[in-house]
Each structure stands twice: as C-alpha cells, then as structure tokens.
Amino acid sequence: MKNKTIILGGGCFWCTEAAFLRLPGVISVVPGYAGGNIEHPTYEAVSSGTTGHAEVIQVEYDPEKTTLEKILDLFFTVHDPTTLNKQGNDVGTQYRSAIYYTDEEQKDTIENIIKQKKSEYSEPIVTEVTSLTDFYEAEDYHHNYFEKNPNASYCQLVVAPKVKKTEEKIKNM
C-alpha cells in the first residue's frame, strides 16, 4: 500500500514536528507553511501574520503501520483545538489549529473524528478543515529543531512537555 500524507497545523511547528516524529508508522515529518495567499513564504513573512499561512507539518505515514485516526488522536492530544489563532503564548493566525486534507476519504475521517472529540472539550473545536492547495517547506534550520536545540529555552519550556505527553499517549495507543 502506498504511503499517505496529511498536513497538520497545531501551533509552532517545532512542537508538532517533535511529537509526530515519535509516532510509529510515520515515515517523515516536514515543517512548512500552508493556507496562505502568497507563494513561497518565508518564516519572517509568515511570522508577521500578513501572509495568511499557518505553521504546519507534512506527515507522511505508512497506512499499514498507523492510521489517520491515530494521527488525528495524537494531533488533538498535543495542541488545544479550541483556541482560535493561539497555542499557549504563541498568538497569531500562523498558530491556528488546521488540518489540510488531500482527498475526500481523509475529509470524511477528519469530520468524524472531530464529531467524536467534541464531547472531550468544554469549548467548541475551532480547527480549520480544508483541502490542501499548497504546501511550502520551511527553511532548513526549522527541520528537526527540537533534536538540534534541546537546551534552547523554548524547547525546554514548550516542546519538551509536548514530547513527554506524546510519548505517554503512544504507550496507550
């Protein structure tokens, strides 16, 4: 069976990349940008909040080793899908909760999972669900950021707790 891809935005891509690299069945995780209105955006442009892009990760996975349901379960574990344009102290449309699907089967699965997850939250889920139009890979220095910079303050304060939460979640999958 051919590998599949899904694009996820759950706040800073350093956090989501580090989390999804740990999920068995995931082949690769590439940080990047999606959902905006200019071609080939830079980190600086996206960070300004003027391009409309979200920080996202492109998750390639082997559907024989993991499922989209497991990927989405982890996605809803490592970020707060009820906060609009914000994750923790990271504020702006570039940090929005978003899922960009690549086919109708993914769309149906995403919509079903969101319906199931609604009861787990006291606030409405505000995750944007839309068809992927463009994905732009982030600059090289963003790739494997947590692994390369484990002692950076942001990594210790924000990324490391999400990685720990991910590892605990995976044990129970």
Q: DSSP labels for 24-84?
A: TTEEEEEEEEES-SSSS--HHHHHTT-S--EEEEEEEE-TTT--HHHHHHHHHHHS-TTST
The domain segmentation of the chain, as residue ranges, is 4-171
pLDDT value of residue 105: 96
Active site residue 12: yes
- Active-site option among 12, 18, 34, 57: 12
Torsion from C-alpha of 32, 35, 41, 44, nearest 10 degrees: -80
With a cut of 70, which residues of the chain have pLDDT below it? none
The correct CATH number of 4-171 out of 1.10.150.650, 3.30.565.10, 3.30.1060.10, 3.10.450.40 is 3.30.1060.10
Q: Report the pLDDT value the prediction gives residue 85, as an integer from 0 to 100.
A: 96
Distance CA 109, CA 126 (A): 17
CA–CA gap between residue 75 and residue 58 (Å, rounded): 12
pTM, rounded to two decimals: 0.95
